[in-house]
Structure 1
Amino acid sequence: MTTQIVILAAGMGSRLGRSLPKPLTELSDGRSIMQQQFDNIHQAFGADVNVTIVVGYKLEHIVEAFPDASYVYNERYDQTNTSKSLLRALQASKDGGVLWMNGDVVFDPEALVRAGDLVAADRSFVSVNTAKVSDEEVKYTTDANGHIKELSKTVVGGLGEAVGINFVARDDKAALIRHLQKVADQDYFERGIELAIEQDGLRFTPVDISDLYAVEIDFAEDLERANLFV
């Protein structure tokens, strides 16, 4: 089955202070954040793979930059968080699992190559960085079998950080959709994953990419750091 890939790009990205949607921010090599993501996706899954972008804020700029992508519109982009953008994408997806990423992450191409085996095996996962555990980031813990147990910014004793590249398997997707429907508008999608694990017994494997780069661009200093890698 063809790999389904989603980029969440509906938000306003106000903290970076740019006029265009944050995924269109230019990197030092001349590409935008989203173009770097597309290049990574094509390297891992081939040139013909279809990518769906969840848009909202100034969507016309993203549509103009990536006319060949598919689109899902979060009309409440200014009132909701990533949980509701992912919900719309999963509801619009075809049968099968879905790989998704936040539209503001600059990351090593190898991160998707490494995840390819789990995608092919249709096993849900969360990509993580165990090299640092910052208070303001989404952190995780694992159960006795090594699967994700807790996943939020408020986790105590986190083993690492989620980097914003994730996959939900075909058989897990319906449960995740149900929980994304239940969570608050301002919740991150990780809350839906956490509830699906807790209440439905879903198993998400942590995929360690600590030896690779993955930078979430929220502030100017994040952009400076990302530009050291591209």
Structure 2
Amino acid sequence: MKTIILAAGIGSRLGNPYPKALTPLKNGKSIMEMMVESLSSYFSINDLLTVVGFKKNSIMERFPDITYIYNPYFDTTNTSKSLLCALKKCRDESVLWLNGDVVFDPLLLNELVPHIEKDQSFVAVNTCSVADEEVKYTLEDGYIQNLSKEVINGLGEAVGINYISAKDVPLFIKELEACEAQDYFEKGLEVMIAKHQTKIQAVDISKFNCMEVDFKEDLEHVNSFL
């Protein structure tokens, strides 16, 4: 299995002059430092790929032991295309991927490992919060039916941590290629579900602290639970 961090974006909403993944936290570490430490305690750092773009050297110099993939169109594309860059490098393997702005309790990974071992594609979700800005979901027969920011009456929201089974990767690549430049990767998953009846679970991680840092208010909340 490969692990991918998506850290190519500019992160303009937070207003940093550097990549959002390098945002310093109250505990003295950056978002990405926490992610790398947590992931490498469960999975091999040799299988960790990071997609970079905006001020890529600042990330690469900080974490020299990680393999990097460059998205040269980081300023005109969204996460669908950054993830596509990485998946093309690991077509025959399952993939756990994370948005590069997620701060989470490392114990959350204990909840995900059994699903990874079953090789079942999933989206980690928080059922305690359903904010308008976030990607929301609905279920049908125990699997995700709808997955987007436009979902009405969502059961919860995606937290930016996801897994795709090796058997589903080729189709996922195809649908990400069909996505528009500004689509989020969730668009590819939603099309897979609608067109191909791909089975994708929602794994509830609500009991763990986990938040994507999009705005200064998010950063304040993260620092409060750190």
Percent same amino acid at aligned positions?
Answer: 49
Within the candidate set 160, 164, 178, 2:160 is matched to 164
Q: 2:7 corresponds to which residue? A: 9
Q: Find the aligned partners of 1:81 and 1:43 in 2 and give their Cα distance.
A: 29
Q: 2: distance between equivalents of 1:28 and 1:43? A: 21
RMSD in angstroms over aligned alpha carbons?
1.1
1:219 alignment partner, one of 192, 215, 219: 215
Q: Which moved more, 1:86-95 or 1:98-107?
A: 86-95
Q: What is aligned with 2:50? A: 53
Q: Which amino acid in structure 1 is aligned with residue 50 of structure 2?
A: I
Q: What corresponds to 2:204 in structure 1?
A: 208
Tell me the equivalent position of 2:172: 176
Number of residue pairs matched?
Answer: 226
Q: What secondary structure does 1:228 align onto?
A: helix
Scaled by the length of structure 1, the TM-score of the pair is 0.95
Paired letter, 2:62:
A
The answer for unaligned runs of 5 or more in structure 2 is none
SS in 2 for 1:221: helix
- Letter in structure 1 aligned against 2:6: L
The one-letter amino acid of 1:4's match is: K
Per-residue CA distance 1:32-77 (angstroms, 9 max, x = gap):
000111111123335x452100000000000001101011111000
Task: Give the whole-Å Cα distance in 1 for the aligned partners of 2:92 and 2:143.
Answer: 24
Which is further off, 218-227 or 157-166?
A: 218-227
User: Would you say the 8 A contact 1:44–1:109 is kept in 2?
Assistant: no
**In the alignment, is the contact (CA less than 8 A) between 1:7 and 1:52 conserved in 2?**
yes
Counterpart among 31, 34, 39 of residue 33 in structure 1? 31
| Moved beyond 3 Å, runs of 4+ | none
Tell me the TM-score normalised to structure 2 length.
0.97
User: Which of the residues 118, 121, 143 maps onto 1:121?
Assistant: 118
Residue 187 of structure 1 corresponds to: 183
Deviations 1:166-210 (A, max 9, x none): 000000001111100001100000000000111112111100011
Alpha-carbon distance in structure 1 between the residues aligned to 2:206 and 2:41:
20
SS of 2:41's partner is helix
Give, in whole Å, the separation in 2 of the partners of 1:60 and 1:203. 38
Partner residue, 1:84:
81
**How far does residue 94 in structure 1 lie from its aligned partner after superposition?**
5.0
Partner of 2:187, secondary structure, is helix
C-alpha distance in 2 between matches for 1:49 and 1:130:
33
2:40 and 2:73 map into 1 onto residues whose CA distance is 30
